[in-house]
Structure 1
Amino acid sequence: MITNILIPTDFSRNAWQAVQYALVLFKNHHCNIHLVNAFEFSDGMSFFVNPEPGDEEYETAKSEAEDNLAKALDMMALKPVNQKMHNVTCEAICGEPLKVIKDYVSKHPIDLLIMGTQGTSNTSEAVYGSVAVNVMEKMRECPVIVIPLAAEIQQPAEIVFPSKFKSQFSDDNLSVLKFLSKRCNAEIKVLHIFKDGDSKLSEDQIKIKTNLLDLLNDCKISYKQLHHQEVLNGINCFTESRESDMLCFLNKKHAFFGSILSRPLVNQITFYTHVPILVLHE
Structure 2
Amino acid sequence: MEKRILCYTDFSENAQNAIDYAVQLYNQQTCTFYFLNAFQADADASDIEALIPDVENDIFKSEKKTSETGLNKIINTITLKYKNNKHNYKVLSSYNALLYALKDSIKTNAIDLLVIGAKDVFDNQEDRQIPTLDIMEYITECSILAVPGDFKFCSLTEIVLPVNYEEALLETSFSELLNLANLYNTEIQILHIKKEHNLDDNQLENKTKLEHIFKGLTCNFHTLERMNVNKGINSFVENDRCNLIAFIGEQSNYIGNDLPRPLLKELDTHLSVPVWLINR
1:241 counterpart SS class: coil
Match of 1:175? 175
* Matches of 2:274 and 2:71, distance apart in 1: 24
Match of 1:85? 86
* Matches of 1:218 and 1:16, distance apart in 2: 35
Match of 1:108? 109
Match of 1:4? 4
Q: Deviations over 1:96-141 (max 9, x none)?
A: 111111111111121211110139x95469xxx7442122122211
* Change in CA separation of 1:83 and 1:268 when aligned onto 2, cut-off 3 Å: closer
* Contact kept in structure 2, 1:236 and 1:269, CA below 8 Å: no
* Change in CA separation of 1:15 and 1:111 when aligned onto 2, cut-off 3 Å: same
Match of 2:151? 151
1:153 counterpart SS class: coil
- The correspondence of residues 219-258 of structure 1 with structure 2, limited to 5 A, is 219-241=217-239, 243-251=241-249, 252-253=252-253, 256-258=259-261
Whether 1:189 and 2:177 are equivalent positions in the alignment is no
Structure 1 residue runs of 5 or longer lacking an equivalent are none
Amino acid at match of 1:83: N
| CA RMSD, 1 decimal | 2.9
Alpha-carbon distance, 1:29 to partner: 2.5
* Matches of 1:34 and 1:268, distance apart in 2: 24
TM-score normalised by the chain length of structure 2: 0.85
1:115 counterpart SS class: strand
Match of 1:15? 15
2:198 counterpart SS class: coil
Comparing 58-67 and 70-79, the one that deviates more: 70-79
The correspondence for 2:206, drawn from 198, 205, 208, is: 208
Comparing 45-54 and 152-161, the one that deviates more: 45-54
Q: Deviations over 1:231-271 (max 9, x none)?
A: 21011112213531100112334894444434xxx49984x
* Matches of 1:137 and 1:281, distance apart in 2: 11
* Matches of 1:144 and 1:133, distance apart in 2: 11
Structure 2 residue runs of 5 or longer lacking an equivalent are none
Match of 1:71? 73
Match of 2:118? 117
Whether 1:160 and 2:160 are equivalent positions in the alignment is yes
* Matches of 2:187 and 2:6, distance apart in 1: 25
Match of 2:275? 277
* Matches of 2:55 and 2:46, distance apart in 1: 13
Match of 1:133? 133
2:168 counterpart SS class: coil
Alpha-carbon distance, 1:171 to partner: 2.7
Comparing 150-159 and 48-57, the one that deviates more: 48-57
* Contact kept in structure 2, 1:156 and 1:245, CA below 8 Å: yes
* Change in CA separation of 1:133 and 1:226 when aligned onto 2, cut-off 3 Å: same
Amino acid at match of 1:245: N
Q: Deviations over 1:37-95 (max 9, x none)?
A: 1112354367998433343332221111001111111221232x332221000110011
- The correspondence of residues 261-276 of structure 1 with structure 2, limited to 5 A, is 261-262=264-265, 266=266, 270=270, 272=271, 274-276=272-274
* Matches of 2:189 and 2:199, distance apart in 1: 18
Count of residue pairs brought into register by the alignment = 270
TM-score normalised by the chain length of structure 1: 0.84
Match of 1:217? 215
Alpha-carbon distance, 1:220 to partner: 3.3
* Change in CA separation of 1:169 and 1:135 when aligned onto 2, cut-off 3 Å: farther
* Matches of 2:99 and 2:222, distance apart in 1: 36
Amino acid at match of 1:211: K
1:66 counterpart SS class: helix
* Matches of 1:54 and 1:184, distance apart in 2: 51
Comparing 221-230 and 61-70, the one that deviates more: 221-230
